[in-house]
């Protein structure tokens, strides 16, 4: 393994993910500009625009973390390099999603409670009056297309890298159709004179943002407090962690196995047992038939207290 925090096996995959995230940022910026030009007074459009703007947070945090993982060297001040910088970026993105989702939901509920009657006016284009709602609908449809394709490309890369930040971004992009559908319903509802449709659609969008944020926050917090490795898409224990725990328990019966995650890597502690006589690389303990042995960075043995050799 090189002196960076990134396993050698992942360098090519990481390079592909970095290129994809640059494209993600580019297309997201075009969506933000397009939506911003036709916001009007619609609460739905404003909420969707804010969500699109929030969509920049995960890819930007991913690129910062990827740069630090690939370029940073281990030192006396950072003896483990920046293995956990991806987890820190995941936590920052989760906090942003949760906070803004809660704020958007509050604004939507207040709009419903106060019975705000938003209106969608007309604009003059080439001498013709055009209902602004048609432009809003066109912008909403456009906002669905790039995220759908980018999210589908991000998912396999996130799984190969075991990258929760990239995986969260992929799910947000892939599920962006819900935001678009709610936004379209809100604008059409305004056109039909249903004042409540706009705020209701905004509330649905904000609930989606809040749900993503809470799930990401739970998973990212677990890593920062040395919780057992979590799955990419939920707060359940990951399959890798469960298989590794079973493998170590089978080889060292009666021992207590403790696993924690540092970024995309796993560190294991085997308590109440002596280490084997021969020197073994940590990857030796990875379950057979698995091609993700790079995840296991360390296996430490802690012998029973008061029963060490020589006592």
pLDDT in tens, 258-277: 999 888 889 999 999 988 88
Residue 56, helix vs strand vs coil: coil
pLDDT of residue 175: 66
Of residues 298 and 43, more confidence is placed in 298
Least Cα distance to 203 among 233, 173, 220, 182 occurs for 182
What is the mean pLDDT of the segment spanning 226-234?
82
29 and 140 within one domain: yes
204 and 128 within one domain: yes
Q: Round to whole Å and give the CA distance between 171 and 179.
A: 13
245 and 181 within one domain: no
The full 3-state SS of 256-309, as one line of letters, equals EEEEEEECCEEEEEEECCCCCCCCCCHHHHCCCCCCCHHHEEEEEEECCCCCCC
Number of domains observed in the structure of the chain = 2
Q: Which residues have CB under 8 Å from 279's CB, separation 6+?
A: none
* Count of C-beta atoms within a 10 Å radius of residue 181: 15
Where in the sequence is the domain holding 176, given as residue range(s)? 8-225
Condensed to tens digits (0 to 9), the pLDDT of residues 23-68 reads: 999 999 999 999 888 877 777 778 778 878 888 888 998 999 888 8
282 and 186 within one domain: no
DSSP-derived pairing of the beta strands 265-271 and 256-262: antiparallel
What is the mean pLDDT of the segment spanning 57-80?
83
Residue 311 in domain: no
Condensed to tens digits (0 to 9), the pLDDT of residues 83-134 reads: 788 888 888 888 888 887 887 788 778 877 777 655 666 666 666 677 777 8
Residue 276 in domain: yes
In contact, 140 and 47? CB cutoff 8 Å: no
Q: Is the pLDDT confidence value at 139 over 90?
A: no
Q: Is the pLDDT confidence value at 141 over 60?
A: yes
Considering the entire predicted model, what is its pTM? 0.81
133 and 258 within one domain: no
pLDDT of residue 189: 76
Condensed to tens digits (0 to 9), the pLDDT of residues 183-213 reads: 777 778 777 777 677 778 778 878 887 888 8
Domain closes at, from 175, 196, 225: 225
Residue 309 in domain: no
Average pLDDT, the chain: 82
pLDDT of residue 252: 93
192 and 262 within one domain: no
169 and 213 within one domain: yes
pLDDT of residue 128: 67
């Amino acid at each position: 393994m090189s002196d960076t925090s990134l396993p050698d096996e992942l360098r090519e995959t990481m390079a592909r993910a970095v290129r994809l995230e640059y494209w993600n940022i580019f297309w997201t910026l075009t969506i933000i500009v397009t939506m911003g030009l036709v916001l009007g007074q619609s609460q739905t459009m404003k909420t969707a625009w804010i969500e699109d703007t929030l969509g920049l947070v995960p890819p930007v945090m991913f690129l910062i973390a990827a740069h630090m993982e690939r370029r940073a060297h281990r030192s006396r001040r950072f003896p483990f390099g920046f293995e956990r910088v991806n987890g820190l970026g995941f936590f920052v993105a989760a906090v942003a999603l949760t906070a803004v989702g809660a704020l958007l939901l509050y604004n939507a509920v207040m709009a419903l409670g106060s019975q705000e009657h938003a209106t969608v006016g007309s604009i003059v284009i080439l001498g013709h009056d055009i209902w602004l709602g048609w432009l809003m609908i066109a912008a909403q449809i456009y906002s669905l297309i790039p995220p759908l394709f980018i999210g589908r490309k991000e998912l396999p890369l996130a799984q190969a890298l075991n990258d929760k930040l990239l995986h969260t971004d992929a799910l947000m992009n892939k599920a962006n159709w819900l935001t678009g559908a709610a936004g379209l319903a809100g604008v059409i509802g305004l056109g039909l004179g249903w004042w409540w449709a706009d705020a209701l659609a905004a509330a649905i969008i904000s609930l989606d943002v809040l749900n993503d944020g809470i799930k990401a926050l739970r998973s990212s917090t677990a890593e920062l407090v040395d919780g057992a490795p979590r799955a990419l898409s939920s707060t359940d224990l990951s399959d890798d962690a469960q298989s590794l725990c079973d493998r170590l328990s089978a080889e060292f019966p009666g021992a207590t196995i403790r696993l924690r995650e540092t970024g995309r890597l796993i560190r294991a502690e085997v308590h109440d047992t002596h280490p084997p006589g021969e020197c073994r690389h940590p990857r030796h303990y990875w379950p057979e038939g698995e091609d993700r042995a790079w995840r296991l960075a360390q296996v430490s043995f802690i012998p029973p207290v008061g029963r060490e050799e020589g006592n």
